[in-house]
Amino acid sequence: MPDLTRSRLTPLSSLPPAVPGVSYSAAPAIARLLYRGSDGAVAAGAAFGVALPTQPCSSAIAGDRATLWLGPDEWLLLAPEYETLAVQQAIAAALPGIAHAVVDISHRQVGLRLDGPRAAAVLNAGVPLDLSLKAFPVGMVTRTIFEKAEIILWRTGPVAFRVEVWRSFAPYVMAIMAVA
């Protein structure tokens, strides 16, 4: 029987070409867990090692883990790939009897990173939000749209963004970025 645990295929195999002012890279495979529920958010954050931010559209990072606010009872938890199960177990253990949900969506979406002074302009080819640093500061994260695809947009630096997009929409998003 073949062991296919290392045979993976992501839709980020061909990235948009770098142009002056912006370059693209594929975020490595990662554990993505969607945490839902309000009551246990503090305890879940403690178990995860990064607090679940309560301010809308904000994020928190500690070490190789991050928490992203997506809705009033919804956070995306990012951790190294091999920790998926451990995180699920730690949160379950920390929340006995407290209603919540943790769903593994590691493969549902892919992460695309944009770097460079033109990154915001390229994103604004499809994102209708104000991406100035004042309106969309470093650390801000939100679901939004890129033309006809839904994305999660996370500003990781003054000229650095991470786009999380459902895998089948990734080629569409990248194709528009390539001609923006």
Give the shortest CB-8-to-other proteins separation in angstroms.
4
Regarding 43 and contact with other proteins (CB under 8 A), the answer is: no
Regarding 106 and contact with other proteins (CB under 8 A), the answer is: yes
Binding string, residues 69-88; x marks residues near other proteins by CB under 8 A: -xxxxx--------------
**Binding residue (CB under 8 A) for other proteins from 127, 139, 154, 162:** 127
Q: How far apart are CA 129 and CA 124, in angstroms?
A: 7
Q: With b meaning 16 or more CB within 10 Å and e meaning fewer, what string describes 96-132?
A: eeeebebeeeeeebbbbbbbbebbbebbeebbeeebe
Residue whose token pair is 């000229």:
159
H helices present in 9-83, as ranges = 41-48
Residue whose token pair is 């994305």:
151
Give the shortest CB-46-to-other proteins separation in angstroms.
20
Task: Name the site residues for other proteins (rule: CB under 8 A).
Answer: 1-5, 7-11, 29, 34, 36-37, 56-57, 70-74, 99-109, 121, 124-132, 135, 142-145, 147-150, 166-169, 171-172, 175-176, 179-180
